[in-house]
Structure 1
């Protein structure tokens, strides 16, 4: 039995949207839209976190060793000074007078010794007289050296190059032995002291890199390395003290600052991918590779072995090579062996959100 022509025509027209819909569904199933990313080879490490305190590479509080009045101050608060610079001079008029008297006596004895030597050469003086005059000259030299050593106590100089602190004295002030006069700190390199549990002792070694941050400069990271590891473990806390050195050429760091320390343990080069690209299945992990085969783009599931996870990234120990292209967005619809439409490749400059907005 044959249907009339107009009914057959209507039936065919009605089936066209259904066929188009089925075709669209089939295409959506076989060609999902995905965003890819590259597996990258990068330097990776296991972080060990601690809190540390900064101290200057060299630090001293200068004080007087004699009781005397300040006669001269040669620095300003916070000034950078060079090694050997005279910072404070104490009143030394009496010692200078003693020095001049001793120098005059030495000159007198030098002349006497010279005359005695000339007489002895002409056999007009005994050798014993010459030796006595030379001995008195040496005594005068020794007296001058003693006075000069005493005068050094009246001149307070910088023992090393560094930055002085606040000046808390004035000219005319009376100072006494042990009285704090000014601080001096060498700040171009800073010492960072912190402690770590003894269980990590085997992973630490001099030269190991670390990063440190401080609340004073929250956006900056200060890099350094471990200089010394303590020789003893605290029997109460079961921790070992560690000292690192940080470069401080710009002088921003100050002694006493609290620093958050991250020691980079087991530094190695490894493959790293976004954690969002991992598909877990029990205790196994998979990624979806994007492969170009015969002019088409297909997906291929691959099992990987993962290592450390950190800040949205995961270390790949086995299963991927550098520059492998994997799916990072669209895994819900991605199936092994399917053709795929790659919207774009996410990297440090172009994020997933930007690629999705550009594809609208």
Structure 2
């Protein structure tokens, strides 16, 4: 009876010793993800539409209808200059037109009764057309006294006051359309063949260091600078919240050769000369066994590496414990890293 009791105890001790002798490894899944080759550059933001409004006549400001930084609509009256003299000329011309219209109508009625010559009728109509032309000319002059927004946008600082005398060309206020921002940057000509309109890019700025702004290439310049050997590129970025401003310096990362590829942690790669290997974890109901497999790698980026050949999505590979791992050997799988659980957390939980 004593001998029968010792047999299973010996087996248990033997199994425990064997489990402790197995190399401990941590695994990671090969994932299929979108990958691209980044091209970095520096660019400057500009508004989609930008203008500095100025006067075309000399006169005194009579009315200002905006505040600093206000959003204005297309056609909104921003500044009106004193136009009393021009308004008086317009009223005089309108009165003259009414007089000539009445004269033309009387001449037409007399001709209908054969009491007036046809030449008199034509003369009266000609004078009426002249009066119409005079009114249009005065109205065109009056438009110069009203400075309106040519498009919807945001005005800058107001550095003028009512009663100030303005002259032609004098800068009165800036107006920028900020809903869409244009980003201009240069790219070396060797990358010209990789660029095309519609290519996506990400940008960052020191003003918002923790945020990434996305956009796409809109236009590629038609000429290469013979001095810098670069081509100008213009991209468009959404700016509905108005945080981006003209003149900002932006760091640009163009996403070239966008593709779906298999990616694994770079720590899983075992280099051997010009060849690269990974340790595959093969699991069955009873055992966890390691298998060395050669892979072809592509780009490396931020601790990850692109796998061109040798792995399939969801393959389980060793990312920690490679020093003791051998091809064909059984192993003890501590856990699998993911977005929420790292190697350190798995090691601490295994203590």
TM-score (norm 2): 0.95
* Equivalences for residues 132-143 of structure 1 within 5 A: 132-143=123-134
CA contact (8 A) 2:31 2:264 kept: yes
Note closer, same or farther for the CA distance 1:228–1:315 as it changes in structure 2 (3 Å cut): same
Q: Which runs of 5+ in 2 are unaligned?
A: 1-9
CA separation in 1, counterparts of 2:35 and 2:139?
Answer: 61
The CA deviation at 1:63 is 0.1
TM-score (norm 1): 0.92
Residue in structure 2 matched with residue 130 of structure 1 by the alignment? 121
CA contact (8 A) 2:110 2:116 kept: yes
Q: Which runs of 5+ in 1 are unaligned?
A: 1-16
CA contact (8 A) 2:45 2:181 kept: yes
Residue in structure 2 matched with residue 114 of structure 1 by the alignment? 105
CA separation in 2, counterparts of 1:298 and 1:241?
Answer: 55
Residue in structure 2 matched with residue 333 of structure 1 by the alignment? 324
The structure that has the greater radius of gyration is 1
Alignment partner of 1:289 out of 269, 280, 285? 280
Alignment partner of 2:150 out of 159, 181, 188? 159
Q: Tell me, yes or no, if structure 1 residue 255 matches structure 2 residue 246.
A: yes
Residue in structure 1 matched with residue 94 of structure 2 by the alignment? 103
The CA deviation at 1:27 is 4.6
Flag as ranges the 4+ runs of structure 1 deviating above 4 A: 20-23, 26-29
Residue in structure 2 matched with residue 317 of structure 1 by the alignment? 308
* Equivalences for residues 229-248 of structure 1 within 5 A: 229-248=220-239
Alignment partner of 1:84 out of 75, 86, 94? 75
CA separation in 2, counterparts of 1:22 and 1:86?
Answer: 89
SS in 2 for 1:59: strand
The CA deviation at 1:224 is 0.3
Q: Tell me, yes or no, if structure 1 residue 268 matches structure 2 residue 259.
A: yes
The CA deviation at 1:335 is 1.0
Alignment partner of 1:193 out of 184, 196, 209? 184
CA offsets 1:78-107 (integer angstroms, 9 cap, x no match):
000000000000000000000000000011
CA separation in 2, counterparts of 1:213 and 1:244?
Answer: 14
Residue in structure 2 matched with residue 342 of structure 1 by the alignment? 333
SS in 2 for 1:95: helix
CA separation in 2, counterparts of 1:185 and 1:270?
Answer: 42
Note closer, same or farther for the CA distance 1:134–1:308 as it changes in structure 2 (3 Å cut): same
Q: Tell me, yes or no, if structure 1 residue 50 matches structure 2 residue 41.
A: yes
SS in 2 for 1:77: coil
CA offsets 1:264-286 (integer angstroms, 9 cap, x no match):
11110100000001011111101
The CA deviation at 1:333 is 1.1
SS in 1 for 2:219: strand
